[in-house]
Amino acid sequence: MHTSPDPASGPFEPVPATGGGTPPSACSGNRFRGCSSRQTTAVLLLVFGGFLLPVVGWLLGLALWIPARGWSVRAKMAGVLVWPVAALGLTVTSAATYWLVLPLGDPLSAIATSLFLLVPSSWFLLLLLAAWALLGACNRGARR
């Protein structure tokens, strides 16, 4: 495939080298990592919905996730548990920081506060990895 400009298409749209092929834009559609937009929405609501709209967002994601096709039962169970485990982990680390370390006073409380500020960002990265893994597992259950 070469990318020579074609007057009928935009300046950055690739043009197939042979006449028999279809343009990549027609093949890919609106898929992300092999998942449809509905499947992607289900994963994002399931993983991040509980933090955007506490509990209700996760329940909405769950309502889309359970009937969604394309995942194995194992991947579905993992997806169901992502948000509750992350919320529990964030709660436990926050409680441990505030109830165990902060009463010790300076300088330990200053260090604990600095580490505590890193906790949500590290959980967010773990949630991003979980969402990425769930999106990658899409349609693997159907292929087996």
Counting every residue, how long is the chain? 144
3 falls in which pLDDT band (50, 70, 90)?
low
- pLDDT for residue 68 is more than 70: yes
Secondary element (H or E) of residue 131: helix 108-136
Gyration radius of the chain over CA positions: 22
Cβ count near 88 (within 10 Å): 11
Over residues 5-46, the pLDDT tens digits come to 555 544 444 445 454 444 443 334 456 677 888 888 899 999
The secondary structure of residue 14, as a DSSP letter, is -
Secondary element (H or E) of residue 107: none
How much is the pLDDT for 12? 46
Residues 6+ apart with CB under 8 A from 62: 46, 80
